[in-house]
Amino acid sequence: MGDIAIRAHGLSKRYAIGGTQRQWNGLAKDRSLSKQEDANTIWALRDVSFEVKQGEVLGIIGRNGSGKSTLLKILSRITKPTRGEADIHGRVGSLLEVGTGFHPELTGRENIRLNGVLLGMKKAEIDRRFDAIVAFAEVENFIDTPVKRYSSGMYMRLAFAVAAHVQCEILLVDEVLAVGDAQFQKKCLTMLEQQQVKGRTVFFVSHNMGAIRTLCTRVLVLRSGELSYDGEPNEGVRKYLEMVGETTGLSPNDFLGTLTDKMVFTSLEINGRYGFSAASPEEGVTFVLRGDCLERVPKFRFSVSVSRDGLRIFTVHDGHVPAPIEKGYFRVTISIPPYTLRPGLHTIGIGGHDGGVYDIGNDWLYANDIATLDIKSEWSEKNDFGGTGIVNVPHVGTRECI
Residues of the chain under the 50 pLDDT cut: 20-36, 247-259, 357-363, 381
**Do 322 and 299 meet the contact criterion of CB atoms below 8 Å apart?**
yes
Q: What is the pLDDT of residue 295?
A: 82
Q: What is the pLDDT of residue 256?
A: 38
Determine the Cα–Cα distance for residues 121 and 384; give it in Å rounded to an integer.
60
Q: Is the dihedral of CA 334, 253, 185, 181 positive or negative?
A: positive
Question: DSSP label at 307?
Answer: E
Residue 389: exposure state from Cβ atoms within 10 A (0-12, 13-18, ≥19): exposed
Q: What is the pLDDT of residue 97?
A: 67
**Do 222 and 62 meet the contact criterion of CB atoms below 8 Å apart?**
yes
Q: What is the pLDDT of residue 193?
A: 74
Q: Is the pTM of this model over 0.75?
A: no
Predicted confidence (pLDDT) per residue in 164-188, tens digit: 788 888 888 887 655 556 677 777 7
Residue 395: exposure state from Cβ atoms within 10 A (0-12, 13-18, ≥19): exposed
Distances (CA, A) of 38 to 65, 74, 222: 19, 22, 22
Determine the Cα–Cα distance for residues 293 and 302; give it in Å rounded to an integer.
13
In sequence order, what E strands does 246-364 have? Answer: 263-270, 273-274, 276-279, 285-293, 297-308, 311-317, 323-325, 328-336, 344-353
- Name all domains of the chain by residue range, CATH numbers in brackets: 4-244 (3.40.50.300), 263-375 (2.70.50.60)
Q: In what order do the strands lie in the sheet with 92-95?
A: 92-95, 170-174, 201-205, 57-61, 218-223, 226-231
Q: What is the pLDDT of residue 358?
A: 44
Residue 273: exposure state from Cβ atoms within 10 A (0-12, 13-18, ≥19): middle
Cα angle 68, 242, 368; round to 5: 55
Determine the Cα–Cα distance for residues 13 and 10; give it in Å rounded to an integer.
10
Q: What is the pLDDT of residue 328?
A: 86
Phi/psi of residue 291, each to 5°?
A: 180, -170
Q: What is the pLDDT of residue 88?
A: 92
Angle between helices 152-164 and 123-137 (to 10 degrees): 140
Q: Which residues contact 374 (CB under 8 A, 6 or more apart)?
A: 245, 276, 277, 278, 279, 344, 345, 346
Question: DSSP label at 159?
Answer: H
Predicted confidence (pLDDT) per residue in 87-116, tens digit: 999 888 777 766 667 888 999 999 999 988
Give the total residue count for the chain.
402
In sequence order, what DSSP letters do the residues of 337-367 get, joined into one string? -TT-BPSEEEEEEEEEE-TTTTS-TT--EEE
Q: What is the pLDDT of residue 303?
A: 87
- Nearest Cα residue to 352 out of 289, 267, 274: 289
